[in-house]
Structure 1
Amino acid sequence: MMSRLRNIVQHNLPAKALALVIAVILWGYVMNDQNPSIESTYTVQLDVVNAPDGYKITKDASTVKLRVRGPRSLFVSATDSDFKAYVDLSKVEAGKHAVKVQTVLPQGFELVEAKPDTVTFTLDRIVQKKMKAEFIVTGSTAPGTTVAHIEPSVETVTIEGAESDIKDVTRVIGYVGLAGNGDDFKLKVPLTAINADGREVSGVTVKPDSAEVSVQLARGLMKKIVTVKPVLGDGLPDGYEVGSVKTDPVKIEIAGPEDVLAKLSSISTETISLDGLTKTTDKNVKLAPPDGVTVTNNSVTVHIEVKEKKKTQQPAASSQ
């Protein structure tokens, strides 16, 4: 039996081998003709893995276009979600970095091109800073009344955000609306971090984000608009001098007995320390009203120009 099978297999063996080779070639030709290799592009979301904690992370691209190649039959059921693009930030520290895009493709596909193939990431450290909260009174009270005193529930707050954003914050303010009130009242005041232009700094949180403010009103007082007079102290380093000094606001409304207000044309700030100042600076300072005088807003911003003294040239020694 085995001998008979062996004879069948070995009979015309070269012809059979040739037929097998031809069959394989024909199969490959048919498959290549019917299921050729083609290319297509998929747009996928860029994932971030191993992102370090404690940083604000920004990137210059959020999607990646993947051009891939594979047998046409594989593209019939393929969708964008089958392809992955990601970057690994495990070895990235603070600053700006160009990071290589990695890909994961379904079996049978090969990557032709990824656009972009690198993505720029910026890692900005999250920091905290304590600041004094300022409360600005807006609007007017009922006729015959004025603000005698405001008492916020917090004086100091903590701001948190990316280090570059925190550097832009110059003040934390809350607006106390009087809204025509004629009696003492309390209200909840939101607190906002703003920059030197008076605009809110996005991405920075204030903790707590609001304060309860008690407003005490007084009756029978006269009102008057006077100039704010900044009072500068000592401590400016050697080699520097003060240039212009401006207040914001320049004038402010005060209230008090008529005989007291009649003698006032300005109201002074508390003494402003110049200790260690070597550059132009904005300082938030409290006002120092006389006894019996109240102010709606008890603090102002003082812009102090600080510059280096010009060096005087020594006269040349005359020759004898």
Structure 2
Amino acid sequence: MISSLRHMLQHNLAAKIVALIVAVVLWGYVMNDQNPAIEGTYNVQIKLKNVPEGYKISQENGTVKVKVRGARSLFVSTNSEDFKAYVDLKDAENGKKAYKVQVETPQGFEVVDEKPSTVEVTLDRIVERKVRAIVNVNGAPAPGVAVAKVSQASSEVVVEGPESAVNEVDRVIGYIGLTGKNDSDFDIQVPLTAINAEGREVQEVVVKPSKMYVTIQMARGLMKKIVTVQASIADDLGKGYEFVGSKVDPLKIEIAGNEKAISAVDTLMTEKISLAGVTGNTDRTVKLVLPEGIAVTNQEVVVHLLVKEKKKD
């Protein structure tokens, strides 16, 4: 029986091999004709992998356009969700950098092209920093009543957020309204807002604590007086630049206090204003330096700094 089977297999062996090859070729031709390789494009969402903790993460592009090749039958049951695209942040560092987009396809597909091939991702470290806290008092109290003293729970608070935003914060500020207040002292929780040197609110930071406990002491019989405000300018302007001058807004301000304290004050100075890094005209909001026994409704003024580049010889 075995010899009969061997004889049957070996009989006309060359013809049988040729027939097998022809069958395979015909099968491949038919399959290629009926189910040819084609190309298609999918928009795939880019995900971030191995995201480090303690950073604010932002990416330039959210999707990648992936061009693939595969048998036509594969495209019938495939959609963009079957493809995976990601950026690996395992060795990422603080700052902005372009990272390679990795694409994974379902079995049977070949990636022809991907756009973009890289994506810029920014890692902004979450940090904390202490900044000064200032409470401004607005509005007019009842006739004959003045603010004797404003006492804050703290002169500093902490701001937390992405490093780029935290570095922009110059101070936090709160406001208290005095309109119609009588001579009774009062306490209040004042919401705090982080602002930059130009007085604009800085987003993406958290103030800790978010409110400041403030005590306002009111008094009757205090004398009032209008005095001039003068800017105190530091001598630290960079080389190659010239300080032209400064203008204070408001130039004059009303102060309150007892007769002895009032008579000794004709000018209020601002805190020292640094010119380091100033390369042109700019504004700075600064705090007033108040002598003992002197009170003001608003403790801040705006100083317009006039700076120009020196002429080259």
Q: Do both share a fold (TM > 0.5)?
A: yes
Q: Distance in 2 between matches of 1:204 and 1:11?
A: 87
- Say what the alpha-carbon RMSD is for the aligned residues: 3.7
Q: Distance in 1 between matches of 2:141 and 2:43?
A: 60
One-letter amino acid of the structure 2 residue matched with residue 171 of structure 1: R
One-letter amino acid of the structure 2 residue matched with residue 193 of structure 1: A
Paired residues of 2:255 and 2:296 also in contact (CA < 8 A): yes
Mean alpha-carbon deviation: is it higher for 32-41 or for 9-18? Answer: 9-18
How much does 1:56 deviate? 3.6
Q: Distance in 2 between matches of 1:21 and 1:224?
A: 110
How much does 1:179 deviate? 5.0
Q: Distance in 2 between matches of 1:13 and 1:37?
A: 35
One-letter amino acid of the structure 2 residue matched with residue 250 of structure 1: L
Q: Deviations over 1:235-265 (max 9, x none)?
A: 779x99964233343233334569987x699
Q: How does 1:65-80 map to 2 (within 5 A)?
A: 65-80=65-80
Aligned residue in 1 for 2:287: 285
Aligned residue in 1 for 2:212: 211
Paired residues of 2:158 and 2:209 also in contact (CA < 8 A): yes
How much does 1:137 deviate? 1.7
The reply on whether 1:64 has 2:38 as its aligned counterpart is no
Paired residues of 2:198 and 2:285 also in contact (CA < 8 A): no
Paired residues of 2:191 and 2:211 also in contact (CA < 8 A): yes
The reply on whether 1:184 has 2:185 as its aligned counterpart is yes
Paired residues of 1:244 and 1:305 also in contact (CA < 8 A): yes
One-letter amino acid of the structure 1 residue matched with residue 8 of structure 2: I
Alpha-carbon distance change, 180 to 3 in structure 1, aligned in 2, over 3 angstroms? farther
Q: How does 1:296-311 map to 2 (within 5 A)?
A: 296-302=297-303
Paired residues of 1:48 and 1:88 also in contact (CA < 8 A): yes
The reply on whether 1:160 has 2:154 as its aligned counterpart is no
How much does 1:81 deviate? 2.0
Aligned residue in 2 for 1:40: 40
Alpha-carbon distance change, 120 to 230 in structure 1, aligned in 2, over 3 angstroms? closer
SS of the residue aligned with 2:9? helix
Alpha-carbon distance change, 3 to 179 in structure 1, aligned in 2, over 3 angstroms? farther
Which 5+ residue runs of structure 1 have no aligned equivalent? Answer: 314-320
Query: TM-score if structure 1 supplies the norm length?
Result: 0.78
The reply on whether 1:245 has 2:242 as its aligned counterpart is no
Alpha-carbon distance change, 170 to 9 in structure 1, aligned in 2, over 3 angstroms? same
Paired residues of 1:151 and 1:215 also in contact (CA < 8 A): yes
Q: Deviations over 1:105-146 (max 9, x none)?
A: 111111111110011233344433221101112233344433
Alpha-carbon distance change, 101 to 308 in structure 1, aligned in 2, over 3 angstroms? closer
Identity of aligned residues (%): 52
Mean alpha-carbon deviation: is it higher for 276-285 or for 162-171? Answer: 276-285
Aligned residue in 1 for 2:51: 51
Query: TM-score if structure 2 supplies the norm length?
Result: 0.79
SS of the residue aligned with 1:85? strand
